[in-house]
Amino acid sequence: MSDIIIAYQGVEGAYSHLACKNAYPQSLSIACETFTQAMRMVESDTANLAMIPLENSTAGRVEEIYRLIPKLELNIVAEHFEPVRHCLLGIKGATIENIKTVASHPQALAQCRQNIARLGLKAEAKFDTAGSAKEVQSLKDPTKGAIASKMAANLYDLEILNENFGDDAGNTTRFIILSKEKTIPKYDPNKGYITSLVFTVRDIPAALYKALGGFATNGINLAKLESYTLAGSLKVSQFHLDIDGHPENKSLVLALDELRYFAKDIKMLGVYEKHPFRFKN
The residues that are catalytic are 173, 175
Give dist(CA 83, CA 245) in Å, integer: 25
Give dist(CA 183, CA 270) in Å, integer: 8
Contacts of 200 (CB under 8 A, 6+ apart): 230, 236, 237, 238, 239, 263, 264, 265
Asked if 121 and 100 count as a contact pair (C-beta separation under 8 A), the reply is: yes
- Nearest partner of 244 among 265, 205, 273, 213, judged by Cα: 273
Give dist(CA 164, CA 84) in Å, integer: 10
Neighbours of 209 (CB within 10 A): 11
Give dist(CA 274, CA 194) in Å, integer: 6
| Sign of the C-alpha dihedral computed for residues 258, 269, 239 and 224 taken in this order | positive
